Amino acid sequence: MALVLLASFIGSFGAVFLKAGAGRLHRNPMTLLLNWRLACGVGFFLVSSFFFVLGVRRGELSVLYPMVALGYVWTMFWSRLFFGEPFTRHKFIGIGLILLGIVILNLGNR
């Protein structure tokens, strides 16, 4: 389970780099290929999937897969930190429900 949570943490950095890189795209396709931020984003996703695979080797998928939703929580913090996106009531309620859901789901773990 710790590995899946680690994967969701690393994957959330992937999203940050994709967002940072996407803002610098222009019509020229070379801007897509020579964009180090996008490359970093893809790199983080690859590392994240490596840990995810190790994480789901043991245990029930029905418990482990929904843990990926924790990535939404990390992403909200990075969006605030790096892109200045505000916390809103909807975000707090949404994140709270996701965390509560993850905790309850774990109670159902064999």
Rounded to a whole number of angstroms, the minimum distance from the CB of residue 48 to other proteins is 12
Tell me the CA distances in angstroms from 87 to 76, 81, 109, one per residue in order: 8, 11, 32
Residue with tokens 């949404």: 94
Residues that bind other proteins (rule: CB under 8 A) add up to a total of 37
Report the alpha-carbon distance of residue 42 to residue 20 in Å, rounded: 12
Task: Write each residue from 24 to 53 as x if it is in contact with other proteins (CB under 8 A), else as -, in one continuous string.
Answer: -------------------------xx-xx
> Among 62, 77, 80, 83, which residue interacts with other proteins (rule: CB under 8 A)?
62
Stretch that binds other proteins, among 5-13, 23-31, 32-40, 59-67 (CB under 8 A): 59-67
What span, in angstroms and rounded, lies between the C-alpha atoms of 60 and 38? 33
Closest C-alpha among 16, 108, 18 to residue 71:
16
Residue ranges in contact with other proteins by CB under 8 A: 49-50, 52-54, 56-57, 60-63, 65-66, 69, 72, 85-86, 88, 90-91, 93-108, 110
